[in-house]
Every structure is written in structure tokens, then in C-alpha cells.
């Protein structure tokens, strides 16, 4: 029929509905290309849902740190608490944002898609049993080995300071069990398409922490902080487990079947990822270990700066990376073109969001710290020291963002050796740079070393991923780069001019300081948004697609 219409067309023009013949392979490639923008819009949609929940969590997290700073300042006793909390909190990075997501989510997502809910439910229950037994052993070992662990992390502590840190560590080690079970529930919820509740669960944890401290303020001591942490961890776990049951996916321990291929696949990935991420936990250990040789309060100011950094880190970086992993896990591993395109798009969207945040935070770091913490026991030295550390941490934020997304791609392609190798590079660079810089720059050198390590690791991870795929990622193509860098330069120039001609009113009232910071951040953000819109950055198309999907 179509051939007859062409033959009878005397003008020689092809009909409007004419399509040239194409092979099955060409048709498949064309269909896949049509799906890629929709996949990126879906990723942005899930990321925006996580951002909404994470915003509440991170704001409450800042309120939590503001309360802690006002009550305890930056002292050696608080240094002991932060050392203990770091040891007890290893599971959050190791499991909640690390090995469990890396190994469980890809296998669970594929099982859910191919074998149905019953098989996926069985896998989750078996994984819960293994997790409970494993965490119980780790908690028991941590309580017994607390003196040894504290000696490693804070060798510069005096005996009485070390004793306080050991007791606090033993009190808080059960926190590992709470957040680990919550991490498994988070993996289930993310795979089921629920991102808001896992994002808001830390908000409930922070709220419980704040309420506990305020309720026990009349009998204030550093021990109150340990009980507040445990209370928050319990609420964090219970909310996510409850929401799984609301989605008719109640988690119950089940005897593991060693012949289950999905469970074996998960465990085969979990062990090397856990080893690599355990190695990654040496980074905060390095900072606190070397910080224990510096002036009292150095560990505290680094921790306060890191807490502020957690707002953009969790709001954008973690949210996007959590949304990326389930989508990547469902990609055809043989379709390297689609996989590479999706990774490139996710990386660019991450940097599109994070670069202006990093630049702005670096420029107004001292003002942010003054507004959040400068009250009560928080001294002027602590203000300037924390502001300096924050500005240096902010320089490493793009590297952290890039590394997080690329590592999710490495997990999706099941590259455990590469994951361990990238982590090893991060630790090695961090240790070498910390030792070299702290001699001349003290705590600032430790912050700069962290930024250097994550930037180096992101470049190395991108290189290894491109080698595995067989294609260059081509993230920083000039056609994309100039559309982002020009608006970034305009925003930075405007912020610097605003600081010079309208200085921050550090002696003014709280309302005036809030207005100043809001004007600076909102004005800088508006300049960046307007400029990138004018230059037609493709990321705005994905954002519009996400809002359409939401509608």
C-alpha cells in the first residue's frame, strides 16, 4: 500500500506519513533513545521526593547541632562524645548508605521485577535474619574492643578523656543494630518506589534527639547525648519498618536458604562492598585521630563544619544517588550506550545542582556558621575555625557528589574490586594530604585533605567505570560545561559584591542576620537559575519532565 502511494506520487515527494525502512536493531535503538529522557526525568522525580523529605531531616539536624553547640560549646568532653559517636555510627555509612544498598537494592529490584513480590519478600526476610545475627556479633565485639578502638581513633587523649570516650562508645554501639535494620527497610522502600518516607525517617530521629535533650536539660551531662542518639535511632528504624508493613511488605526474620541464588548473589556482592566501605570509614577516623594531637576543640569544629555540610550533601548528593541506584539496576548490562547516557545525565544533573551550592557555601561559610552556632558556649575562635573548615569542605563537595553517583554505577555493574580500589585511593590520598597539611594549617589542613581525597577519587572512579563500559563518559563536554560555568561565575561575582557592599551584620539582631543570609543565597540562586535557563541547560527539561510525572 505504501509502495503504491509512492509510485503514484508524480511530484516525487514522499507522503507525510512515509518512514524509510529500518532494521529491527535500528528500531530498538531509536526506541531506547526515546526512553532515556523519560528515565532521567523519573530519576529527577524520585530525587525531588527524597530532597523534600531530606530537607526536613537536615534542617532538624542543624537545629540538633545548634542545640548541642549552645549546651556544650567546643570542648574536650564533647570531643570524646564525637569520637564515640563516630565509632558507633559507622553502620550508617557502611550499611544505610553503603554496602547494604550496593548489594541488596540491585538484587532485590531485579528479583521484584522478574520473580514477583513473593520471591522478593522471601529475599528481604532472609537478608533481615543474616543482618540481625551479623550486627549482634559486631555490637558485642565493639563493646568489648571499645578501649582499643578509642586508642586508635584518639591516641592524643588524656587518660580521663579516653575513659569517657570508652564508656560513651559502649553505650552507643547498639545504635548499629537500629540503623542497620532501618537500612534494610530503606532498601525495600526505595525498590518499591517509596523515597519520601526513607528520606524523612532521619528527621524523626533528629526530632527525638532534640526533644530528649530539652526534656533532660535540667540534669545536663554528656551522657544525655548518648541516650538521645539511641532514642533517635529507634524512631528511625520503627518508622521505616512500619511503612513497609503499610505497603503489605512486613519484614519478618526467615531462616536463610543457602541454595537461594538471589541471596547468594547478594552476599557475594555484600562482603567485598562491606570491606571496601569499611576501608572508607578510615577517613573520619584519620581526621579525628590526627585532630586529637591538635588544640582542644579541633575535632569539635571539624565535626560542626561537617554537620553543616551534611545539609547540601544529604539534600542533593545522597538523594540523587539513592534515586539513581534502582534505575541503574534495571538497566540492561549489555546496552552500554543507554547505561553510559544515563550515568552521564545523572552526573551532569548532580553537578548542575551541587556546583552553585559548593561555590555559595564556600563564599558565605563564616556567615552561615555565625548564624547557626555563635551563641552560648560557642566562642569566637570556634566560629572562625568552623567557618574556615566549612569553606574547605565545600570545595570538595563536587568531588563527593561525583564520586557518589559513579560508585552507584559501579555497584549496578557489579564491580566490587573496583569499589574497593576507589575507596583505597580515597583513604591513601586523605592520609597523605592530612599528614602533609596539618603541620602548617592544623585543622584547616585536615579539611583541605578531605576535599582533595574525594576529588581525586571521583576522577579515578570515572576512569575505571569508563574502562569497564568500553566508552568514555564524556561528562565535561564543552557544549555542556560553558552553560554551567558562566552562570556559576556570574553568581559567585554577585555574592562577593554583595558581601563587600552590604557586609554581614554580625552584631545585629537575629532577624537581620537571617534576612541577610536569605538575600545572599536567594539572590545568588536566582542569578544561577535565570542564567542556566537563558542558556537552555538540558537539566531544566528533566526537571519539567519530573513535574509532569508528579502531576
Q: Are 61 and 318 in contact (CB under 8 A)?
A: no
Whole-number Å distance between alpha carbons of 112 and 451: 38
Computed over every residue of the chain, the mean pLDDT equals 81
What percentage of the chain reaches a pLDDT higher than 70? 83
Q: What is the pLDDT of residues 402-440, one digit of tens each?
A: 888 888 788 777 787 888 888 889 889 999 999 999 888
Per-residue pLDDT, averaged over 517-528, amounts to 94
Q: Are 397 and 250 in contact (CB under 8 A)?
A: no
Q: How confident is the model at residue 154 (pLDDT cuts 50, 70, 90)?
A: confident
- Residue 244: predicted pLDDT: 92
- Residue 15: predicted pLDDT: 39
Per-residue pLDDT, averaged over 47-51, amounts to 70
Is residue 301 pLDDT above 90, yes or no? no
Is residue 483 pLDDT above 50, yes or no? yes
Residue 516: Cβ within 10 Å count: 21
Q: Vertex 324, ends 322 and 325: CA angle to 5°?
A: 75
Whole-number Å distance between alpha carbons of 348 and 481: 9
Q: Are 277 and 424 in contact (CB under 8 A)?
A: no
Whole-number Å distance between alpha carbons of 85 and 227: 11
Task: Identify which has the larger pLDDT, 269 or 7.
Answer: 269
Whole-number Å distance between alpha carbons of 46 and 38: 12
Which of 10-14, 51-55, 61-65, 182-186 is most confident? 182-186
Which region among 60-74, 279-293, 315-329, 335-349 has the lowest average model confidence (pLDDT)? 315-329
- Residue 549: predicted pLDDT: 57
- Residue 317: predicted pLDDT: 72
- Residue 83: predicted pLDDT: 82
302-317 exposure pattern, b = at least 16 Cβ within 10 A, e = fewer: bbbbbbbbbbbbbbbb
Per-residue pLDDT, averaged over 502-528, amounts to 92
Q: What is the pLDDT of residues 450-476, one digit of tens each?
A: 999 989 999 999 999 888 888 888 888
- Residue 80: predicted pLDDT: 84
Q: Which of 310, 94, 117 is nearest to 184 (CA)?
A: 94
Is residue 91 pLDDT above 60, yes or no? no
Show me where the domains of the chain are located. Answer: 76-280, 334-545
Q: How confident is the model at residue 4 (pLDDT cuts 50, 70, 90)?
A: very low
Q: Which of 445, 457, 542, 551 is nearest to 47 (CA)?
A: 542
Residues 6+ apart with CB under 8 A from 460: 422, 425
- Half-sphere exposure (CA, 13 Å, Cβ side) for 475? 21
The residue assigned the cell 534505575 is 327
Q: Are 134 and 271 in contact (CB under 8 A)?
A: no
Whole-number Å distance between alpha carbons of 307 and 64: 10
- Residue 277: predicted pLDDT: 60
- Residue 530: predicted pLDDT: 95
Q: Which of 241, 222, 252 is nearest to 123 (CA)?
A: 252
Backbone angles phi, psi at 283, to 5 degrees: -65, -55
Which region among 22-31, 341-350, 486-495 has the lowest average model confidence (pLDDT)? 22-31
Q: Are 492 and 359 in contact (CB under 8 A)?
A: yes
Q: Are 535 and 483 in contact (CB under 8 A)?
A: yes
Helices marked H in 294-396: 298-312, 319-329, 336-363, 365-373, 380-395
Dihedral (Cα; 43, 44, 50, 52), 10-degree rounding: -160
Could you say which DSSP state residue 502 is in? S
Whole-number Å distance between alpha carbons of 93 and 343: 22
Label residue 550 exposed, middle or buried (CB < 10 Å: 0-12, 13-18, 19+): exposed
Which region among 117-126, 304-313, 325-334, 520-529 has the lowest average model confidence (pLDDT)? 325-334
Which of 176-185, 231-240, 417-426 is most confident? 231-240
Q: How confident is the model at residue 139 (pLDDT cuts 50, 70, 90)?
A: confident
Q: Vertex 40, ends 39 and 42: CA angle to 5°?
A: 65
Per-residue pLDDT, averaged over 517-529, amounts to 94
Is residue 1 pLDDT above 50, yes or no? no
Whole-number Å distance between alpha carbons of 152 and 145: 11
Task: Identify which has the larger pLDDT, 484 or 49.
Answer: 484
Q: What is the pLDDT of residues 269-279, one digit of tens each?
A: 776 666 666 56
Which region among 27-41, 180-194, 224-238, 395-409 has the lowest average model confidence (pLDDT)? 27-41
Which conformational region is residue 335 in: left (phi greater than 0), alpha (psi within -120 to 50 degrees), or beta?
A: beta
Per-residue pLDDT, averaged over 262-290, amounts to 72
Angle in degrees, 0-180, between the axes of helices 336-363 and 365-373, rounded to the nearest 10: 70
Residue 125: Cβ within 10 Å count: 18
Which region among 49-53, 298-302, 305-309 has the lowest average model confidence (pLDDT)? 49-53
Q: What is the pLDDT of residues 342-400, one digit of tens each?
A: 888 888 888 998 999 999 999 999 999 999 888 777 788 888 899 999 999 999 989 98
Whole-number Å distance between alpha carbons of 546 and 40: 9
Could you say which DSSP state residue 95 is in? I
What percentage of the chain reaches a pLDDT higher than 90? 24
- Residue 144: predicted pLDDT: 92
Whole-number Å distance between alpha carbons of 409 and 60: 31
Amino acid at each position: 500500500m505504501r509502495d503504491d502511494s509512492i509510485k503514484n506520487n508524480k511530484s516525487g515527494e514522499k507522503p507525510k506519513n512515509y518512514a524509510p525502512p529500518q532494521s529491527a536493531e535500528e528500531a530498538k535503538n531509536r526506541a531506547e533513545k526515546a526512553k532515556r529522557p523519560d528515565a532521567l526525568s523519573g530519576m529527577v522525580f524520585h530525587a525531588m521526593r527524597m530532597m523534600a523529605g531530606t530537607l526536613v531531616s537536615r534542617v532538624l539536624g542543624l537545629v540538633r547541632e545548634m542545640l548541642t553547640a549552645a549546651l556544650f560549646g567546643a570542648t574536650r568532653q564533647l570531643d570524646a562524645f564525637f569520637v564515640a559517636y563516630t565509632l558507633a555510627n559507622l553502620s550508617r555509612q557502611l550499611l544505610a548508605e553503603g554496602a547494604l544498598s550496593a548489594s541488596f537494592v540491585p538484587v532485590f529490584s531485579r528479583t521484584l521485577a522478574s520473580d514477583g513480590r513473593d520471591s522478593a519478600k522471601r529475599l528481604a526476610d532472609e537478608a533481615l535474619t543474616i543482618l540481625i545475627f551479623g550486627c549482634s556479633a559486631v555490637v558485642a565485639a565493639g563493646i568489648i574492643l571499645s578501649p582499643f578502638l578509642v586508642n586508635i581513633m584518639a591516641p592524643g587523649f588524656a587518660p580521663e578523656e579516653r575513659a569517657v570516650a570508652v564508656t560513651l562508645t559502649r553505650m552507643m554501639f547498639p545504635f548499629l543494630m537500629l540503623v542497620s535494620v532501618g537500612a534494610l527497610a530503606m532498601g525495600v522502600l526505595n525498590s518499591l518506589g517509596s523515597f519520601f518516607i526513607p528520606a524523612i525517617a532521619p528527621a524523626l530521629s533528629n526530632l527525638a534527639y532534640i526533644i530528649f535533650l530539652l526534656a533532660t536539660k535540667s540534669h545536663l551531662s554528656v551522657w544525655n547525648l548518648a541516650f538521645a542518639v539511641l532514642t533517635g535511632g529507634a524512631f528511625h528504624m520503627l518508622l521505616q519498618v512500619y511503612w513497609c508493613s503499610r505497603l503489605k511488605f512486613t519484614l519478618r526474620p526467615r531462616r536463610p536458604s543457602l541454595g537461594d541464588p538471589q541471596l547468594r548473589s547478594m552476599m557475594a556482592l555484600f562482603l567485598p562492598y562491606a570491606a571496601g566501605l569499611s576501608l572508607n570509614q578510615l577517613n573520619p577516623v584519620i581526621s579525628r585521630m590526627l585532630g586529637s594531637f591538635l588544640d582542644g576543640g579541633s575535632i569539635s569544629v571539624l565535626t560542626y563544619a561537617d554537620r553543616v555540610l551534611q545539609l547540601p550533601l544529604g539534600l542533593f548528593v545522597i538523594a540523587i544517588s539513592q534515586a539513581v541506584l534502582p534505575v541503574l539496576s534495571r538497566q540492561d548490562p549489555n546496552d552500554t550506550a543507554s547505561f553510559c547516557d544515563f550515568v552521564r545525565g545523572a552526573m551532569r544533573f548532580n553537578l548542575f545542582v551541587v556546583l552553585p551550592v559548593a561555590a555559595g557555601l564556600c563564599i558565605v561559610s563564616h556567615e552561615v556558621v555565625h548564624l547557626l552556632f555563635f551563641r552560648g558556649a560557642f566562642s569566637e575562635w570556634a566560629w572562625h575555625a568552623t567557618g574556615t573548615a566549612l569553606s574547605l569542605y565545600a570545595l570538595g563537595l563536587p568531588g563527593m557528589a561525583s564520586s557518589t553517583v559513579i560508585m552507584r554505577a559501579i555497584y549496578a555493574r557489579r564491580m566490587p574490586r573496583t569499589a574497593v580500589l576507589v575507596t583505597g585511593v580515597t583513604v591513601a590520598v586523605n592520609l597523605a594530604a592530612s599528614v602533609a597539611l596539618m603541620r602548617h594549617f592544623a585543622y584547616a589542613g585536615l579539611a583541605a585533605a578531605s576535599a582533595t581525597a574525594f576529588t581525586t577519587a571521583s576522577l579515578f572512579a570515572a576512569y575505571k567505570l569508563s574502562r569497564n563500559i568500553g566508552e568514555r563518559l564524556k561528562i565535561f563536554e564543552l557544549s555542556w560545561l560553558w552553560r554551567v560555568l558562566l552562570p556559576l561565575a556570574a553568581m559567585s561575582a554577585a555574592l562577593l559584591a554583595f558581601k563587600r557592599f552590604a557586609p554581614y551584620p554580625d552584631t545585629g539582631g537575629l532577624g537581620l542576620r537571617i534576612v541577610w543570609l536569605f538575600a545572599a543565597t536567594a539572590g545568588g540562586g536566582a542569578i544561577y537559575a535565570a542564567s542556566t535557563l537563558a542558556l537552555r541547560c538540558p537539566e531544566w527539561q528533566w526537571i519539567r519532565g519530573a513535574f509532569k510525572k508528579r502531576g
